[in-house]
Amino acid sequence: MATPTDPERRAVIRQGLSVAVATGLYGISFGALGVASGLTIWQTCLTSLLLFSGGSQFALIGVLGGGGGMGAAIAASSLLGVRNTLYGLQLASTLAPRGLWRVPVAQLTIDESTAVSIAQQSLPNKRLGFWVTGIGIYAGWNVMTLVGALVGDAIGDPKQYGLDAAASAAFIALLWPRLRSRQPVAVAIVAAVVAAALVPVVPVGIPVIAAALVAVVFGLLSRTRTPDAREPDGALL
């Protein structure tokens, strides 16, 4: 294990914690909206504890609050959760969880923990990024869900503090270091365009999966490339 003063490790911890704070605070929106949609405080909190995937949670209470049936609510929520399978695939070799250890690992597998983890270069930093971000968000999201359910909108919309833009910035900052060679730049641009183009025409949650298919296509078409084309993250597996 590297020393805790290793500046690279501290940078990973800072990244994870800033993403966790920006995302965790959004739990307040979910808590307030959950109660407003007719869930009890207890039901709202249990949704954050058990479901723990922001998009899926908002979809669930959106359908329930809008008078939709439980089948429609479960379907909307689950559709958004499919991308987490992809994240697990991506993280499997990094985290290599076995047996029951896969339970907490799976539960913490969401957009942000995956994003911070895959953005790191070394294996220990990938793991560190996953755990710091995952645990930080789990704690923050659940505490803030309770706060939001109790006090409603009294604190105000996290948007007014720009926390939604903070999340955008975190994602672009994690992507940035990968844009040094031609192939990832091309993949990123095509993936972004494909995702944006699909937003109005497919259910929420699908554009991210379609963007992943862009990587599949590029990956399968690039087999004549030299190994250098895999920079800067050839250490991924």
Partner 1 sequence: MTVWIAIIGASLIAFALKFAGYTVPPTFLEKPRVSRVTTLLPAALLAALVVMQTFTTGSSLVLDARGAGLAAAIVALLLRAPFIVVVIAAAATAAALRAFAGWA
Alpha-carbon span 138 to 216, nearest angstrom: 30
Q: How many residues bind partner 1 (CB under 8 A)?
A: 104
Q: Which helix (H) or strand (E) holds 184?
A: helix 182-198
Q: Check binding of 233 to partner 1 (CB under 8 A).
A: yes
Q: Is the peptide bond before 232 cis (omega within 30 degrees of 0)?
A: yes
**Binding to partner 1, residues 21-40 (CB under 8 A):** 22, 38-39
**Neighbouring residues of 50: CB distance < 8 A, sequence distance ≥ 6:** none
Q: Check binding of 87 to partner 1 (CB under 8 A).
A: yes
**Binding to partner 1, residues 200-229 (CB under 8 A):** 200, 203-204, 207-208, 210-212, 214-216, 218-220, 222-223
**Binding to partner 1, residues 48-67 (CB under 8 A):** 50-53, 56, 60, 64
Helix then strand count (H, E) for the chain reads 11, 0
The amino acid sitting at 143 is V
**Binding to partner 1, residues 103-162 (CB under 8 A):** 103, 105-107, 109, 111, 114-115, 118-119, 159-162
- Helices marked H in 96-162: 102-107, 111-118, 123-151
Candidates 2, 70, 139, 154; binder of partner 1 (CB under 8 A) is 70
Candidates 36, 41, 92, 155; binder of partner 1 (CB under 8 A) is 92
Candidates 8, 88, 121, 147; binder of partner 1 (CB under 8 A) is 88
